[in-house]
Amino acid sequence: MRVLVVGANGQIGHQAVEKLKEKGHDPVAMVRKEEQVAQFKDKGIETVLGDLEKDFSHAFENVDAVVFAAGSGGSTGADKTIIIDQEGAIETVENAKEADVKHFVIVSSLGADAPKKAEQAKHYMYAKHRADQHLQASGLNYTIVRPGMLQNEAGTGKVKLFEGDPEVANVPREDVAAVLAHIVDKNQPANKIYNLIEGDTPIEETI
């Protein structure tokens, strides 16, 4: 499948691109700056320039699936969180609808189901909540992944991917990326929301 990865320059997005390539798919890495292109082209991965704060509808041409892994990052203010994590995600959903994308996978966050309960980063939880709501109401086939506390250590290849009430725990970014690639590869969009934390189940056996 031809898979557009939005936020490909981010830690999760970058690894998701590589893992999709390893599975035999044709990832398209959407990046914001020209200097971010070479890291993918050197590996034979297609890129497209697109800025979530501008019109990026051109990036969806001949795309079968979308992975939205973009984020404003922890060092930006609430305004960027709303612009990227909320409005950027919403516009990505709308562009995907126009392009008749078959499966939309989005990286959300544990706690996005109940942003009022958030004790910190409440604006982030609301942004993720609104983006998830918009995707659910879009009519697109979707999978929402809500990872726990993101860690930078190497992935274990094993996780706990489950529906229902969240459990607060850590999860390596590499394992999140591997789960995203696995979900796309299975190509069985069931309009579900999954919580994702470290666990004992091999990723290939999660769904």
Residues that are catalytic: 124
Count the residues in the chain.
207
- Positive or negative torsion for Cα 20, 22, 27, 33: positive
What is the spatial distance between Cα 157 and Cα 83, in angstroms, rounded to a whole number? 33
User: DSSP string spanning 109-148?
Assistant: -TTTT-GGG-SS-HHHHHHHHHHHHHHHTS-S-EEEEEE-
Q: Which residues contact 59 (CB under 8 A, 6 or more apart)?
A: 4, 6, 28, 30, 48, 50, 95
